[in-house]
Structure formats: C-alpha cells, structure tokens
Structure 1
Amino acid sequence: MSSTQQTQPPARSNPGRIPVSTPAPQQWTGRQRRSRRPVLGAMICVALIGGLQGVDPALHSVAMPQAARELGMDPAVASFIKSIGTIILAASMLGVGILGDRFGRRRALVAGTLLMGAAAVITATAATPLIFGLGRALMGVATATSFAMCLAFIPTLYPREQLPKAFGLFFGAGASLIVAATALSGTVQGLFGWRSTYLATAALCLVLGVAALRFMPENRASVLRRFDAPGVLLAAVGLVALVYSIGRASTLGWGHPLVLGGLGVSAMVLAAFALWELRCKHPAFPVELFRLPAFTAACLAGVLFNWADASLLGQYPALALPAGVPAAAVSAIVALMYVGMICGAPAAGIAQNRFGLSNRTMFTSGLLLCAAGLALQVLLKNPHDLLLPAAGLFIVGFAVMWMQNPQSAVIMGSAPADQLGAVGAVKPAVGQFGFGLGFALAGPIAGIFMDGPALTAQAYGLGLASQAAFFVLAAALIFILLKPRSAAAAA
C-alpha cells in the first residue's frame, strides 16, 4: 500500500471568543469551542492521564505482596508477574504510538485509558495467578497506549517554545497524582484488602477516560505512512530482551548466562532495527534523530536520571527496613522524592521560559544535582537517621523533573509532525532502561563495600557515592556534547 495524504480540517474558532490556536489542526467539538480555555482543559486532562503511568506501578507495588500470598504464587511466578507489565509496555510502545498517529490520538488515548481500567478490574477479580498475570499484561499494553498518546498530544497543543512550560504542568500534575494515590493506598488496602487497590485504579481510569472524551479534541498525522511491521517487531523483540535481561540481573547477577545471552540478543536485534529503519522507505521510527546532539543528550539524560531515581529508591528501603526503621517512616521518606518532583517540574519550566536556561545548562546541572543527592549518603552513619536519606531523595526527585522537562521538550520538539506517537516511544524506552540499570547495579556496587550479607550504612553510602562520581563524568560528557557549535540543534 502506498502512502496517502489525509488533510484535517483547520482549527476552528469558538464563536464570540478568541480563536482556538494550536500548532496542529484539531477537531474540536462545538462544546469545546465554546469553552473559555479549551487548550488548558485538554492539557489538564493529558497531564492527569499521564500521571496514571506512575500511579499504577506505585499501587501495584503496595498490593502485590498480599495478592501473591492470597493467590498462592511461588516466588518465581510472583517475580515474573510483577514485571510482566513493564515487559509488555516496552514491547508495545512503538506499535501503539504509530497506530495512534494513524487513526487518531484522542481515540487511542481514550482506548488506552479505559483498557487500563479494564485491566485493573481483571487483576482485582482474579482468582488464579494466570488471570492476575493476564490483567497485568493488559495493563502494560494499555499504559503504553495512553502514555505514548499523552506525549504525542502536547506538541499539537503548544508551540515548540512553550513546550518546557507545558511539560512542567504535565509532570507536576502527574507527580501530585502519584503522591495523593500513594498516600491513600495503604489506608484503602488496610480497610478493604488488596483487591480494592486495583479497583481504585479502575475507577480513576474511568473518570479520566470520560474526561478525555469531554475536554480533548481529536487529531492525527496528516500523512498516513505504511505500517512498518518488521521495524515494530524488531523494536519489540529488542526492547523486551533488554528490559527482561536487566530485570533478571538484579536477582541472578550480571554474569549469569541468561542475562548475558539476553543482552547479546538485545544488542543484535536493536542493531538490526536501526539498519532496517535507515534503509526503509517508510520507517516506523526516524533513527536519524540520533544524529542531533540535543536529541542524543536528551536520551542519555533520560537513562541517567532514571538510574539515579531507581538506585536511591531501591537502596534506602533495603537499608532501613532490615535495620528496624518503621515501614511508615520509610514510606514517608520515600514520598519526599515525589515532593521533590512536584517542586522540580514547575521550577524547570520557569527556568527555561522566564530565565532562558539552555538545555545544556539544564541537563548538566540536573546530573550534578543527582550526584549531590547520591554523594550526600556517604555521610550517613546510622540507618535510623532520616535527615540525609530525606534530603537525598528530595534532591534526586527535584533533579529528575528538572531534567525531564527539557528532555521531553527536546524529544517531542524534534519529532516530525506525522510521527509524534512513534518518537514519543523513545522517552519511556530510555526511562525503563535507566530504571532497570539503577535497580540492577545499585546492589552489586554496594556489595563491593560490604563485609557480610547485610547492607550496612557504610556500604550504602559508599555505593551511592561511587555512582555519584559517574554522574559527574556524565555531566561533563553532556556539557561537551552540547557545546556552542551545536547550539542550533540544542535549542
């Protein structure tokens, strides 16, 4: 099938009000056009739905241990089911992004959000581990669909120069939703059981799906490309092998044949994907974007800030809980990372929009903040001292959003207008890679400084400080990559 061109109707005005002006043509309903601020209403909807990507895994991590006990899962089955959603998300991200570009981004967004609700209901009502796992697998597909379309929608609502501000709202609202949901989840589960946690997710998805139908316009790619099935398949296989191998490395070790074999398969398949896309007439993903220094730096920053996030998030509970720190105190300290995110998202938007800080400055300073939050832990002498972990988690959370705003603006601002959904797949892909690395590397690095099987405050601090040194080197690398001769690409 040859590619055909489909032209959308131009953006229309709301009678008696200011015309609805957006970078891409939108199909507004009559009620939306009569709204006082239709773009802001659509953006708030996108931001809250985007927050679901963080709400679901946060609530799932709370409910999973009790669900595994009640359904009689053995540890191997429980470990696989816990990660299956992430694996399926990685496999489906590129494909669902392309389908949204082709058939309508709001349509795909609403479908993904409602499918998240259906998956949560299946999980909540599961009587066997198989049905429970099916619900989590569907959640991976649904999350990929809704989140890819959220990222694709924002550049159609705001011009490129306003993307940092728009992504500040997007990530700030999402982080706030995660904090609220996480704070309430323990109480809900304590009163009504683990199934109620997933039902709460389903109710939230239903409300936000209906809101999307009410407040969001429809748009799609103006040029319908041929569906690149080989490219989508290669990307899915390569990403699944990568995510699965890194996840298993945290339990089996990096030298295990399954881990090494999976990483080798991933490297070969993703290399084949890149070669295929470069030679394909209608590629699923424009891999030539990696020739842009700013795009490459944004992807590298995404791997790194997710690495710092996961490393500290994984190591602090591993130190505090066995040492007898109350679980409620650990949860409160961990929540400070999300408080830092809530603060960092609007701060990043203000820094770029009002003060004109460059992407080079944002990425470099953010990585140095990650290094500071990690290095600070070397001063911890007693696991019961809460101040240093609290400060480190807040600083890293702030740094994550400080970099995530420009990272998202660069990635989505670089995307061709007809491939917004496809390019949006890069962000969660690099995020999953970095998050997996953080969890898989933090334990072995801390183990270098351990005298026995238990994680001590000294090993915890030295392990994180060692990673901090790497983040300083990474900051220098990005500073050089985005030096002034590449200023046009960096902007």
Structure 2
Amino acid sequence: MVGVSGVEAPASARFTRRQWLLLIGCGMGFAVTGADPAVFSANIALVRTDLGLDGAETAFIASLATLVLAATILGAGVLGDIRGKKQMFIVGGIITAIGEVLVWVPGGFPLLIAARAVAGIGFAFLLGLSLTIVNASFTPEQRPRAIGMYLAMAFACTAPMPAIAGLVSAGTDWRNGFLVFAGFALLAAGLAWRFIDPIPKAEGRRLDLAGILLAAVTLVGLVYGISRLQDGLNVGSLVPLGIGIVGAVLFVVVERRVAQPALDLRLFSRGPFNAAVGGVATYNFLNGGFTLLVSYYLVVVQGASTAVLGLLMVPAAIVQAFAAGWAGRLITALGSRTALAIGLGACTLTCFAFAALGVDTPIWVVVIAFTMMSVSNALTQTPVANLMMSYAPRELGGSIAGVKSGVGQTAYSLGPVVYTVVATILLRMTTSAEMDRAGLTDDDVREALASTSGGATSAGGGANQVLDPDTLAALTEAIRVPFAHGLQWTSLVMAIVPLTALLLALRLLPRKGQGADASGSAPSGDAPHS
C-alpha cells in the first residue's frame, strides 16, 4: 500500500479482511445517524400533512431525534466504556432499528414521538461508540489511516441511503423508507457482532449519573436554544439557553469533585486536545451555515428546488469518502499538525468558493463549491478525530468520542443562526436602497428565507412561517440580486472562523517530532486517566 509520501506502508500497518469489515460496520452505523435525520427533514411536509400537525408540533418532531441524540451521547459513551463498547454498539443498532420500525407503524403523533425518541437513543450509541471502537481496534501505526477509512466508509454509506429510502417510499408511503435505515442499523450491528474483537472495559469505573444528566441538560439547552435564536431573542430561545448555561456550570462543578467523572476535565488543559475541539467546532459550524445558505441560494437566486441540494450531496459524499481516506495517510506521512492545517486551509478556501457564487453562476460551479465543503470537512474531521482519540486510554474512549459529537452538534446548530443573522445584516448594509425601493424590511427577508428553506434546518427546527405563493414569489424576486451579494459578503466574513482555528492549531499543536509522534498522538503517559 503506497502512502502520501510515496513509500509503501509496512506490513504491520496494513488491514486484515476482518478489520476492513469492522470499518464497514462502524462506518455504516455512523452513516445511519446522519442519513435518517436528513430524510426525515426532507419528508417533514408529508409528515405534517399526514398527521395534521401544527407548526409547533412539526418543529418539535423534526428536531426530536437530534435533541435526544445530544442528550444521550455522553451517557452512551460512558456506558460503552463500562459495559463494553462492542456490546453497546450492537444494542444501539437494535434500538435504532426498533425506532425506525415504530416510524413505519401507522399511528398518531404520540407514537411518532416515541419512535423518534427511541431512534435518537440508538443514534447516540452508534455515533458515540463507532469512533472509539475503531480507535481501540487498531495498532498505533494503523490508527490514523483506520480513522480516515472509517470516515470514508461513513461518507460512502451516507450517499446512497437517502436515495434507497426514497426509492422504497416512492409512490407508496413516506414511512416505508425508514425500514431501509432499520435494515442498515441491524446490518451494522451484525458486522459488529461478527468482526469486532472484545475491547477491555473500564474495570471498577462507576457510572457518574449526575454528570451524565447535567451533560444532557447542557447539550439539549444549548442546541435547542441556539437553533431557536433564528426566531429572535425571546422566551423560546433565552430560557433553554439559560438552562444550558446553568447546566454547563453545574457540570464543571460536579465533574471536578467526582472521583470518577463521566468526563475528565483535565483533557481541556492540553493544547492539542483544544486544537482538535476547535477543529470540530469549525467544520460543523461551517457545514450547518453553508448548507442552509446553499438552500437559500438555490431557491432565491437560481430559482431551483431544494431537492437539488439532495442531488448535490451525492457526488459530494463520494468525493468526501476519498478525501477522508487520503487524509488518514496524510496524518501518517506529515503529522496531525500539518494535516489539520491543510484541512482548515481547505475550509478557508471553501468560504472563498462560496463567495464567488453570483446571480448568473452556472450550476456546475455550485457543485464544485459544495464539493469543496465536503472535502474540507473530511480533511479536517480526520485529523481532529485522530487527535482527540489520541488522548483516550483504550478502555475510556467513549466519553471523549461523546465530547466530539456534543461539540459538533452545538456548533452545527449555531451555524445557521449566525449565517442568517450575518446575511440579514449585510443585506441591509450593502443593499439598503434596493430593499427600501422594494418596500422590504428585515422581517420580510427572514420570512422569505424561512419559507424557502423547506422545513427545519437545525436541531430546534424553528416554526417557519408559511407565506402565500404570490407573496413569496414577489419577495424572493425582489431580494434575488441583493441576496446573491449578501451571500458573497457573508462567505467572506465567515472565512475568519477557519482562519482563527488554523492559527489556534498552529499555536497549540507541536511540530512533527516535538512532543508528538508522526500521527500527532499524545506522548506516552500524557493521556489523562480516571
């Protein structure tokens, strides 16, 4: 196997057939947790019509699985450490399948609430444990490339899942497509049962129930509150944000006093770990923001359907899979510092690519920009995953994987809020004369954007207003050119985020051979133990 440097990988770094099948199973589990919410959001209008839901109920059910995932992700990781990562990953696959089958079973709103909550719990085990299983199942020489290939498998599996679910439900019922996810979840569990070797448990470790509950309150409050900020500063956003902040303070206080905390806070005293956390926040923030902005751009500027966004995701996911696999080899060849710098540099270039999208931009340029976003995601996610897991003792990786997912969920929810606010401000600053001549206010713009985004776009799934077609058409036509300019300026402003993360990484990460090995792993004895 030839690596990035052109040198053939040593035999000790090559994967066995059993390891490849392990990577497929873990990647498939990861993919289910991303593809299912995407398909459910795409079908939210059908769900609303079928069950006769109002706006608040629609927003709640659209975000429920994601919120439950956020609430249970740290607990799932800790349970995996204590009860066994392999065993709890399999349990997660079974729980996910049960939730998907419950979606398929005809019933009312209460049954669908139960179904999405159950699925969210299953997602937490699949997402929270798949990375730590990979980390514990490969040698240090194999690990960077293994993490890259795990993410490659996840991205490759994510691409066809929505299409398969769509084909299954086409012409019948929207519920039928979710049986596809039940099948994939069970297949992931089966591969785990057959090909994952036993991983040592954290013997003698106690379940920090108070820490897990406070982490759940913190994440749900922050994720939901941030997403509701799209509706403005009001009780609906400030109360959950306040609860989340109080929960975070109490979490820190409790975890500092517990002998065996759910999360060892000493991790955050280490520069490389913080650089990785910054990378996780950056690519999730950009993904959440740009995905929303592209949906606006396609509808408002290009006059296309939001379904085009789903088509863009297919080639982007395929290229993303190759990029993740390449990034794993890049870490081995150049070290995590350089690999992460390349990833964050790619994120910065992506901002400039979106800034080039104008009123008459051909759709193939949009495809390139969207693909660049996916590639920069893979090039950043692979080194940050490797860095974070480098600080995880083999038997205690679940809680650290939970940190990665929790930070990612929060940042992804923050992206659409910040992008929408910045775009609205820039629209007013740069095109105030055009908007005034059209008789448009900031509220008109927000309503038009909410209506064109096609359902919930974040974990809170704010209750979008529905404008009548004539009003919507008039608004979108009036802001077509100003919005293209606003998107360009917003994209340029957002380049500050990956540039800041890049400078932080260069400051906090040692150069190759200075306190870290070629892969950027923590020096021996440097990882904190409970």
TM-score interval, normalised by the smaller of the two chains: 0.7 to 0.9
* SS of residue in 1 equivalent to 2:409: helix
Residue 368 of structure 2 is aligned to residue 391 of structure 1: yes
**Other-structure match for 1:11:** none
Cα shift at 1:79: 0.6
Structure 1 residues 199 and 305 mapped into 2: Cα distance closer, same or farther (>3 Å)?
A: same
- The residue correspondences of 1:444-483 to structure 2 (distance < 5 A) are 444-450=421-427, 451=435, 452=440, 453=445, 454=476, 456-483=483-510
Q: Percent identity?
A: 25
- The residue correspondences of 1:220-239 to structure 2 (distance < 5 A) are 220-239=200-219
Structure 1 residues 159 and 447 mapped into 2: Cα distance closer, same or farther (>3 Å)?
A: same
Give per-residue Cα distances to partners, 1:442-479, cap 9 Å, x unaligned: 11111112234245211122112211133223322222
Structure 1 residues 282 and 330 mapped into 2: Cα distance closer, same or farther (>3 Å)?
A: closer
**Other-structure match for 1:30:** none
**Other-structure match for 2:378:** 401
Q: What one-letter code is carried by the residue in structure 1 that aligns with 2:36? A: D
Instruction: Extract unaligned runs of 5+ from structure 2.
Output: 1-11, 428-434, 446-475, 522-530
Of 312, 329, 333, the match for 1:333: 312
* SS of residue in 2 equivalent to 1:201: helix
Cα shift at 1:485: 11
Cα shift at 1:357: 1.9
- The residue correspondences of 1:178-189 to structure 2 (distance < 5 A) are 178-189=158-169
Of 411, 417, 420, the match for 2:394: 417
Give per-residue Cα distances to partners, 1:368-400, cap 9 Å, x unaligned: 211211222222222663133222211111111
Structure 1 residues 227 and 326 mapped into 2: Cα distance closer, same or farther (>3 Å)?
A: closer
Question: Which shifted more, 168-177 or 376-385?
Answer: 376-385
* SS of residue in 1 equivalent to 2:39: helix
**Other-structure match for 1:270:** 248
Q: What one-letter code is carried by the residue in structure 1 that aligns with 2:25? A: C
Question: Which shifted more, 164-173 or 368-377?
Answer: 368-377
Residues of 1 paired with 2:255 and 2:513: CA distance?
A: 25
Of 244, 255, 258, the match for 1:280: 258
Structure 1 residues 330 and 101 mapped into 2: Cα distance closer, same or farther (>3 Å)?
A: closer
Cα shift at 1:256: 2.6
Q: What one-letter code is carried by the residue in structure 2 that aligns with 1:335? A: V
Residue 282 of structure 2 is aligned to residue 304 of structure 1: yes
Contact 2:327 2:379 in 1 (8 A): yes
**Other-structure match for 1:342:** 321
Residue 357 of structure 2 is aligned to residue 380 of structure 1: yes
Give per-residue Cα distances to partners, 1:325-378, cap 9 Å, x unaligned: 14554432243432342122011012122xx22222222222221121122222
Structure 1 residues 337 and 311 mapped into 2: Cα distance closer, same or farther (>3 Å)?
A: farther
Residues of 2 paired with 1:167 and 1:446: CA distance?
A: 36
Contact 2:25 2:187 in 1 (8 A): no
- The residue correspondences of 1:26-37 to structure 2 (distance < 5 A) are 37=17
**Other-structure match for 2:171:** 191
Instruction: Extract unaligned runs of 5+ from structure 1.
Output: 1-20, 23-35
Structure 1 residues 160 and 321 mapped into 2: Cα distance closer, same or farther (>3 Å)?
A: same
Cα shift at 1:213: 2.2
Contact 1:54 1:174 in 2 (8 A): no
Question: Which shifted more, 322-331 or 460-469?
Answer: 322-331
Give per-residue Cα distances to partners, 1:57-104, cap 9 Å, x unaligned: 222222222122111111111111111111111111111222222222
Q: What one-letter code is carried by the residue in structure 2 that aligns with 1:341? A: Q
Give per-residue Cα distances to partners, 1:192-238, cap 9 Å, x unaligned: 22111111111222233233222223334142311111111111111
**Other-structure match for 2:449:** none
Contact 2:64 2:113 in 1 (8 A): yes
**Other-structure match for 1:141:** 121
TM-score (norm: length of structure 2)? 0.81
Give per-residue Cα distances to partners, 1:234-289, cap 9 Å, x unaligned: 11111111111112122x12x33432333233223212212321221111111101
Question: How many residues in Structure 1 have an aligned counterpart in Structure 2?
Answer: 455
**Other-structure match for 1:320:** 298
Contact 2:71 2:216 in 1 (8 A): yes
Residue 53 of structure 2 is aligned to residue 76 of structure 1: no
Structure 1 residues 182 and 383 mapped into 2: Cα distance closer, same or farther (>3 Å)?
A: farther
Residues of 2 paired with 1:193 and 1:290: CA distance?
A: 48
Q: What one-letter code is carried by the residue in structure 2 that aligns with 1:249? A: L
- The residue correspondences of 1:202-213 to structure 2 (distance < 5 A) are 202-213=182-193
Structure 1 residues 56 and 331 mapped into 2: Cα distance closer, same or farther (>3 Å)?
A: closer
Contact 1:104 1:219 in 2 (8 A): yes
* SS of residue in 2 equivalent to 1:411: helix
Contact 1:320 1:383 in 2 (8 A): no
**Other-structure match for 1:31:** none
Give per-residue Cα distances to partners, 1:103-144, cap 9 Å, x unaligned: 222211111101111101111224212211211111111110
